[in-house]
Amino acid sequence: MNTPNSPAGRDIAALRKALRQAAIAARETLPATARAERSARIEIHLDALLETLAPRTLAFCWPWRGEVDLVAWTGRWLAADPLRQAALPEVTGPAQPMRFRRWQPGDAMATDHHGIPVPAHGAWVEPDMILVPLNAFDAAGYRLGYGGGYFDRTLAALDPAPLCIGVAFELARTETTHPQPHDQPMDWIVTEAGSFRAAARPDFSG
């Protein structure tokens, strides 16, 4: 198995970094009209998928660097059923799993130490589903985030594990993200092209 400090490990790290940077750049330069049209199609596919999966406490992420903006959509999802809850992740410290604060439209917001909005006073909750942003993703459900490992640590720590739905524009799709043993795959992927079950986890034993 390649270690991060081995030559092969360093090569893979460089590949993943380059892939991440290219995917973010492509997303950030997406024209506003194309972004709006693709986002609307993503919302339609999310509506259909969540009607089937029926989560009660749904975590999502405040959009960052051109990610799919699900704030208004989550507000509408909440309004459709008073028993539903939504939450946002909060980074509580370096190298620590994130925790999730309950969020409702109109809540007072603060920012975490990365400058990302989080509810100022929301109660801690445990989601049964998380909508996870993807900088890049592959058919196996593996993703590239921003390199901090926050979601991987969080998903590994949650018990029971929530259902994870990766959400991205189709331009983030790649043949492989060069997944590593610590990477946590998504259960589903949703893009403007539709919703897709993630393929089987690859074998890291070799």
Q: What is the pLDDT of residues 143-157, one digit of tens each?
A: 999 988 889 999 989
Residue 205 placed within a domain: no
Please say whether the beta carbons of 47 and 188 come within 8 A.
Answer: no
Alpha-carbon distance 183 to 62, whole Å? 22
Residue 75 placed within a domain: yes
Residue 204 placed within a domain: no
Other beta carbons less than 10 A from residue 148's beta carbon: 12
Residue 148 placed within a domain: yes
Minimum mean pLDDT among 38-42, 127-131, 196-200: which range? 196-200
Count of domains in the chain? Answer: 1
Alpha-carbon distance 79 to 137, whole Å? 31
The torsion angles phi and psi of 62, rounded to 5 degrees, stand at -65, 135
Q: In CATH, what number is assigned to the domain containing residue 103?
A: 3.40.50.10420
- 86 burial via Cβ count (<10 Å: 0-12, 13-18, 19+): buried
Residue 206 placed within a domain: no
**Can you give the residue range of the structural domain that contains 52?**
7-197
Q: What is the pLDDT of residues 75-103, one digit of tens each?
A: 999 999 999 999 999 988 888 899 999 99
